[in-house]
Amino acid sequence: MLTMHRFPPFFLLVVATVVTQAADPPSMQESPRLVSAKAAALGLEQLLDLAFERNPDLQAAQERIGQAEAQVAEAAAAFYPKLTGAVGYSYTNNPALAFSAIVSQRRYEPTMNINQPGFVENFRPELIGSMSLFRGGQDYYRKKAAELGVEAAELERSALHNRLAASVTAAYYAVLAAPKQVEAARHSLEAVDSELKNARILHNEGALLKSDVLSLEVRRSQARETELKALNAVELTRSGLRTLLGLDTSEALEVRESADKPYPSQQDNLSGLITQALVQRPEMQAAARQIEMREKEVRAEQGGHLPRVNAYAAYGINNRTPAFNFNNDNLTMGVNAEIDLFSGGATVARVAGAERKLAEAQAIRERTRLEIEDDVRKAQANLVEAQQRKEVAEAATHSAREALRLVREQYRAGAATVTRYLEAEADQAQSEIREVSANYDAKVATAFLQQAIGTWK
């Protein structure tokens, strides 16, 4: 499905990526890149290389290319002669068949009673050769259609390559973001623990209400819950990345943050991006190949209305026993032509079916064009939103930290209530988590815009 939904929160995007890219367990065969994965942490480019090598979906796509190539070889076989070996045995007293066998065995004598030949045995080993000389262009167009099928399969693999690159990039940034969200959650928990410890001391001294202590304990539980969710997100994101890379649980995976690959600014030139996507996206090119392939199939079926011409030859030996007596060999060669004068409408129906497939391919190309344009529009809008959210989150975090510092001083001086402190602390914790997400969301949005225009084809 080409349509991209509205850019979701960061971890929902990761979960969606994991679900859509789930595949069968990978092969246990070692590779040079896998050895490097065990030896050192991998950056984004190395992860992409590993995914392109190990991902089961790409391997399956390569096998589909092989299937299409086999269909080309099968279609090309129609242009070569066909040689068949055969052996037959007959035992008959039918005068016509018996006389024919006697003559073929070189045993005819004028004194024979050809009306009452008795039972005659005939063994015939033979080689039969045939070759199609003309079939109304059916063989030619079917071969051309098969060749276009190979191109379409290669383009479909290229489209999968493009989607996989974007998914690995999203999973990579999710893996990097998750520990930072854990760190933010733990920072919040430590701050609440410190205030809770002071609050209990003040309560024991009679300087603080029990309700204030209980409020801090509730806030501590909330901070701990946030920490647990962040810890679980670490495992989920790493599992999702493993799936995309084709790694199982026994294979080590360490990730390091690498420098972001620079991309030209693409926020404003929407029409240019759409034009670029329509030229670059493999899905559009594959749809065009499908139309060409269906056109060749229509021509092939139309060839069924034309005559068919074949050449044939048969060389064999006729004997009363299975012995090879080459004195009794014979050769037959010839050419025949045939045409279907009436086939119950089968040829017309096949042509009509091929034309409907052509119309379907044309409709799919139009749908593909619309979906690619929609992908680009949504990806660009998501990138603009993500970059704006990043700026807002950074400013919010700065303000929340300063607000918490002031409120903490007021709270300890007795000028602010515990409720106000809890609000400030929660704002600061959430702003830090949002800043981490917004920072990586912007990078992921950039990756999905690159996918939308077909950068990784």
Mind giving me the DSSP string for 383-448? HHHHHHHHHHHHHHHHHHHHHHHHHHHHHHTTSS-HHHHHHHHHHHHHHHHHHHHHHHHHHHHHHH
Torsion-angle region of residue 106: left (phi > 0), alpha (psi -120 to 50) or beta?
left
Residue 198: predicted pLDDT? 83
Residue 248: predicted pLDDT? 86
Ranking 61-65, 253-257, 414-418 by mean pLDDT, the lowest is 414-418
Task: Give the whole-angstrom CA distance, residue 266 versus residue 378.
Answer: 13
Q: What is the mean pLDDT of residues 435-450?
A: 92
Higher pLDDT, 391 or 4: 391
Mind giving me the DSSP string for 286-312? HHHHHHHHHHHHHHHHHGGGS-EEEEE
Q: What is the DSSP letter of 27?
A: P
pTM of the predicted model over 0.85: no
310 Cβ contact partners less than 8 Å away, ≥ 6 residues apart: 130, 131, 132, 133, 335, 336, 337
pLDDT above 60 (res 88): yes
**Residue 264 pLDDT level (bands cut at 50, 70, 90):** low
Task: Give the whole-angstrom CA distance, residue 54 versus residue 34.
Answer: 9
pLDDT above 50 (res 137): yes
Is the Cβ–Cβ distance between 328 and 104 less than 8 Å?
yes
Q: What is the mean pLDDT of residues 93-115?
A: 91
Max intra-chain CA distance, the chain: 141
Residue in this structure with the two tokens 């991006």, named with its chain if needed? 273
Residue 14: predicted pLDDT? 39
Dihedrals phi, psi of 389, to nearest 5 degrees: -65, -35
pLDDT above 80 (res 403): yes
Q: Which CATH number fits domain 10-80+138-308+349-453: 2.40.30.170, 3.40.50.720, 2.60.40.10, 1.20.1600.10?
A: 1.20.1600.10
Residue 358: predicted pLDDT? 97
CB atoms within 10 A of CB 416: 17
160-215 per-position pLDDT tens digit: 999 999 999 999 999 999 998 888 888 888 888 888 888 888 888 887 788 888 98
Task: Give the whole-angstrom CA distance, residue 87 versus residue 82.
Answer: 17
pLDDT above 70 (res 32): no
Give percent above pLDDT 90 in the chain.
60
Residue 226: predicted pLDDT? 87
Task: Give the whole-angstrom CA distance, residue 12 versus residue 170.
Answer: 11
Domain ranges of the chain: 10-80+138-308+349-453
Residue 162: name the closest of 55, 73, 263 by CA: 55
Q: Indicate the SS3 state at residue 261.
A: coil
